[in-house]
A and B are shown apart, each in its own frame.
Chain A
């Protein structure tokens, strides 16, 4: 297998062994989790839509490395990776995919709608780009409350063509909201390539019209993502308003499980996998830098496999939600958990 580590913009020298190992573990967890989800889907254990994150692992892993406690994140329906990266329990995520009581939403949300108040993960949204103003709203709340939290608002190259994104850009900059707009440019909005949907040279560049700085980032290189993320987060924490990261990434799987993927060639996908795989990249850095041996990495692989298998078993064993759950959680009786009033 031939890779081109030269494509990496970041020097590994200043990255510690622990950090690299953490990225390796975190990315591998997402990949193995998603492979397992694909498998469970194939077995009919997971229903409906299921959008896998395989190939894009470096994006959330690199950005989570820039987050502190209190920072928020919100994304679209391709959300499993984000949840694992921010520390949500793989068991709860997988059990939501199988629609069981042990899932994060008690089985009522499914793949596209999962949340964790505890981990400040605000979903999981099924309507393309709807999470963009919502993310700015989360940032609005933090600014209102006067803390220095930042919100990571993820959306895809497809969502970047929705009007509400630009309404949001305008207000986010107008009000200096601490929000990092993360465009995960995996180059295909379902089956429509970026080239076929816009003549814009870049997506981050559209922020310029609103006065929002931004940059394009190599999304197959977790260190490059982290470096750019730190810059963006520092900008937001300093009260300078939003920042846009257009992270160039690639999804190896179809848009959803039922995507016949006729809009791109097998060779194109294989080339990315062979030459630019983000996990393979970190693996090589670990081995070349003599930070880890093959055996050590094998034991990480084994450990991850066990976590994922455990999650899958949990997700299959967890009972279906009680039928009474049909009628719960439609209206809140009291203040929502973790509401601002509790902090005030």
Chain B
């Protein structure tokens, strides 16, 4: 049975090539693995190996021929006893679908065209948050709930403790989380309560322990990986993005990765460029991740509990400056806050200020100042950046017709940039002024106290931006 040898594709991008040289001649015996020809691709000269045994019956493309298309027949392989004269006949007979030798079938170009290509228009993303969606303004907890005062630090610790009590597969790992009681004391007391099996001190090996945590999550545990700060997570970015965020998709839905990466993010105080960066926009750019950045202790607790229960990788961005700050937290046995539900921290009708995390302190301060001047700002705390509660933002902008975004991160490719684009696409007709993004400055964080202050977002800048969009 004669088999056509086809011009092979020898690189991901090759469409045609030059048949540089035949290393076998007609009548030569060919074994699988023998080099039969040299083929020049756009990148290199490649040796072309035979995949079948037989005798090189006829060369169809002579050496030196350029522009030979991939899959064009270049030679015919015959079996012992067959004559090269039979080639014409058998080559055409080979296209007969009744041919019983399945191995030969692969050799025929008509078989390669069998792919049923689907309609080419890209389906739209299944939107869970179209502009038309109604914002969820339900209270986060029942109105008559008793409240208690606690710091952000205590709230985070309580969330972990409650979830570790609830679910045996939840464990905490990271640098100094155990015996040291946490570099920022978030995990204080957890080692004593849960023991070293569930509160795991790691060596200083971010990439390594992030990968180990991710592997444990793929196997079904629910790790909380603490980064001493998110600046150090840069050493582990590949594991967070390529391993944790993408594996569910790459496995066709088989391998979920229920893991929380948490720790302080953004500028602290006077620690300069390498320790002061807000990574929110980076992580929020990655499909497969969820991204959370709480401002209040109540949100921190409710959102961290949701994060630990979430079957996906969650980036949980805290802020060192907020750790010691006290807030009212509902005194309940178990409460969670869902992702993708923003909080309206202050109602107003003149302008919408959208922020999250520590940006909220500046946004709220600015709103107070503006109120003194008779400008009522509505301040929205996004709480989660993936998913984003677009509906709440859009509804507010439709009411105020103006929007200023506030965040600590760098200006290029910021969350504010993204929101501006979204508002422009979905509420353009409601806007009375361009959206202004207030961000950190486009500079590495300086050390000097005065420079640092100006590198960060400031309240006067927000006030000025609001006055600009309200034409005051």
Contact = CB atoms under 8 A, between A and B. Distances in A.
Interface in B177-225: 197, 200, 202-203, 205, 207-221
Contacts of A342: 220
Interface string A35-65: 1101111111101110000000000000000
Interface of B: 6, 8-12, 14, 32-33, 35, 41, 43-47, 49, 51, 70-71, 102-103, 105-106, 111-112, 114-119, 121-123, 125-126, 167-169, 171, 197, 200, 202-203, 205, 207-221, 238-239, 242-243, 247-258, 287-288, 290, 311-312
B123 A327 contact: yes
Contacts of A13: none
Interface bracket on A: 35 or more
Given A170-B203, A344-B169, A305 B103 contact: yes
B252 A332 contact: no
A60 B123 CA distance: 41
Interface string A313-328: 1001101101110111
A220 interface: no
A35 B51 contact: yes
A329 B115 contact: no
B67 to A, nearest CB: 16
Contacts of B70: 43-44
A49 to B, nearest CB: 7
Contact of A319 (B116, B123, B169, B287): B116
Given A127-B242, A132-B211, A137-B211, A336 B311 contact: yes
A305 B256 CA distance: 35
A117 B255 contact: yes
A41 B71 CA distance: 10
10 contacts: A38-B49, A42-B10, A44-B71, A44-B112, A108-B252, A168-B212, A174-B203, A260-B43, A320-B115, A331-B290
Contacts of A49: 12
B216 A138 contact: yes
A335 B220 CA distance: 9
A238 interface: no
A161 interface: no
Nearest to B212: A137
A297 interface: no
Contacts of A229: none
Interface of A: 35-36, 38-45, 47-49, 72, 74, 103-109, 113-117, 122-127, 130, 132-142, 144-145, 163-164, 167-168, 170-171, 174-175, 252-253, 257-258, 260-262, 266, 273, 305-306, 309-310, 312-313, 316-317, 319-320, 322-324, 326-344
Contact of B238 (A127, A327, A328): A127
Nearest to B14: A258
Contacts of B117: 320
Contacts of A130: 211, 238-239, 242-243
A266 B288 contact: no
Contacts of A133: 207-212, 214-215, 239
A319 B114 CA distance: 9
Given A123-B250, A312-B106, A144 B215 contact: no
Contacts of B169: 339-341, 344
